[in-house]
Structure 1
Amino acid sequence: MPRPPRTPPLPVTAKPINRRTILKAGGTLLLSVLSPLPAAAAQILAVRVWPAADYTRVTLENDSNLKATHFIVPDPERLVVDIEGLDLNPTLKSLVAKIESEDPYIRQVRVGQNRPNVVRLVFDLKEQVKPQVFTLEPVGAYKHRLIFDLYPVAPVDPIAQMIEKGEWMRDDLAPAGRPELAGPAPDPLAKQKSEMPAMAVVTPEVVAPVKPVQPKVEKPQVVRMVTVALDPGHGGEDPGAIGAAGTREKDIVLAIAKRLKFKIEEQPNMRVMLTRDGDYFVPLGTRVEKARKVQADLFVSIHADAFMKPSARGSSVFVLSEKGATSSAARWLANKENLADSIGGINMKTHDRQLASVLLDLSTTAQINDSMKLAKAVLSEIGGFARLHKASVEQAGFAVLKAPDIPSILIETAFISNPEEEAKLRDNGYQDQIASAIMKGIKNYFAKNPPMAKSRIT
């Protein structure tokens, strides 16, 4: 049987597989594994809005640092913010519902995906603002934060605020050396002159000259309005200490300050300025600056701090120290309170570091001595009904006490970290007792140290 024809072999086109080819293929596979994947969009964890007359703050808390650009669009006024590396999520959308109708600066906000990985926020404004947009690194319980601070073009003046509320008279604004701007000064002899009988006109030949009787004039006493600056600690982004039951220090101290304000305003010739009258953050230096602008006679900062051990209890009163703290606890509390700017969040690019250094350098022995007198008077009254953490006034380097020309004290009303004292701080009756004690201490201080006439601060 004949054999079938042999099929010719197919032509070989592939190169022979060798060691170099295998290594090259492995390297390609390794590169594909190690190549960076597209970056995941940042996640917005929380949005918060803090409206106030001073300024409105909007905070976006997120899991990574965000880059934002912004610009103003006029007629009507709008602030436009583009945030890179971000996709729209339900948390960010919830910002729309957080804008309150009584917000002094923001009418509404619109949120949308402007382009891939870029979210645009459009703030419709009620008036012109000077925006500050900045980021904050993680601190305390917070992750990364992107902050929008909307300030009015004309900064709010604390005296103008008090005039608007009827707490300050325009006559008080007369500059030193120009009393005529405050209206005519009263004539101390007016009463005596009006009561003197009219003299008949007679000739010298009829009666002998009569030597006029000089009326006795008493030295007029200085009567002026006394201004007390009350400083409720923390606020806004900075909750202060938080008790086991969830009580926030910022809420308690604001409630006590408002009670004390009412009691002071019941006194003749006394008025009050609050460094904050709502839930918003005020930098430490700004608190001091506000007190100086209204020519405050006293500065009283109110707190309810926490300590490392929940067993710590009792009230304390502090004044500034130039030579270090009087105890390790005082030093620890001062360091903790001085972190308020970091937690509350200040824009370091615009923060007036020079002001802080001036306040530090100008702190005087006289101010500390006067502060000590006030602190002793207040501590004595608080000790009449409450347990004291220490029976004497303590000293430490609290930044908020560094007004060079105002007696200043800081009161730790109780330890919010102590469950029993936290319960007391939540009680309206106890808050009223604390406010009454501080009021009595202030009155006792002025009884022994009457306010002097003072020139207007320039």
Structure 2
Amino acid sequence: MRFERNMWKKIAAMVLAIVLTVTLALPAATGQASAATTETGIMLDGRKLDNAQAITVDGTTMVPIRIVSEQLGHSVNWNQATGRIQIGSAPASLTLTLGSRTAASYSGSITMQQAPFLRSNTTYVPLRFVGSQMGLAVRWEQSSGTVYLQTQLEAPSLPTTPPTAPSTPPADSNRASINSISFSDNRLTISADSSVKPEGSVLRGPDRIVVDLPDSSFGPGLLQNQTASTGQVVTLHVTGSSAVKQVRYSLFSQSPSTVRVVIDLNRSTGHKLYTRGNLVLVDLNDDGAAAPIGTDGKKVVVIDPGHGDQDPGGIGVTGKREKDMVLSVSLKVAALLKQESNIDLIMTRTDDTFIPLDGRVKIAQDAKADVFLSIHGNAASSNAGGTETFYADTKRSKALSDTIQKHVLAATGFRDRGSKQANYLVIRKTTMPAALLEIGFMTNANEEKLMMQDAFQQKVAKAIVAGIKEYLANS
């Protein structure tokens, strides 16, 4: 992990970044700008922010704090009596005062082009202050009247104008390809196609865990069809974790090519960083005191939601996509398996990214999984329907397939298409018991309708977990 030579700049940038991430429900009277203003649209990371406007005051563009509150959502302390906003905690704290152009920080004062002010219960700060102090690339397009903001990963000294063309690092046969980043069971899992040596650190204000992967770059599909240029940030949303808010990742550096992964925390917590084969794991269970996966008698289960990103899988009669349905079901399975104290869970994907078939196999192999289950939805003619489960190796996997089929069929109520042998790559190349489940047919109007319903998905997820538990108990 590389630290900036000037550590305060790094800390200040992170503290200041909070200013952009919080919605303040403040009274609308203090520090209100009185000059004539004009309003413009805001684009953040390539998407238009609805109901978010930048305001130009005396030639200075001001942006609302709330525009990226959904991205990081940190809290601040607001003193209504003094009109002061304190971001972070001492010593790495910064204080803004409504109506004052001076921001107070640990290293001294910072002068802004315009003072922060309130309008319609929203706090505004100068755009250039955002760009220079908070690690956001900033661009103003006069022809369309649009402000463009680009988030960066822990990089406070970026240029204020993004490059005119993306810069992609040259190919390097010695560079590891990062093919999967997922978070499940309070554990971050990073899968590479070759060995990597992770470098980890903990940063405060706000709390986060940073993992650098030197001599690595992104594999196809991981950036969701976005250009893998330096600074392009992808956010992996996390649910069901009291400690983790979200995960962000980016190609942080080109010399050497380095992928950076940041775990944004809701609170300070311990963690354990280790490798298993070509997997990099960051385990937050028991504040990092939990044993490595697959130890202490625990079984490792890998759940593989099929398809993803540019590969939608089957398309339903109403246009619904298989990749979305199976991800939703798989996340419900993950939430249930997390409650099983004798099971360690690994997910091949937890968002809309694509992982090559061999990459899915490699995750299971590196994890030394006891069970691998790939979850799918079928597609054929409108008359086809039913639930079926596949296995490749009779001796190794038929019992798992039979058990999953029994439980899921009872949950769906669809026609029984059986547990049968097939030659699908993900169940043929894996060396542990492996099955591929087809819940139902996306091309069957009734089955598609049911498979997109939350209650039905939960019922199927419970059946899948029951099948896995029965198989493990009998194996």
Normalising by structure 2, we get a TM-score of 0.45
The structure with the greater share of residues assigned to helix is 1
The structure with the greater share of residues assigned to strand is 2
Normalising by structure 1, we get a TM-score of 0.46
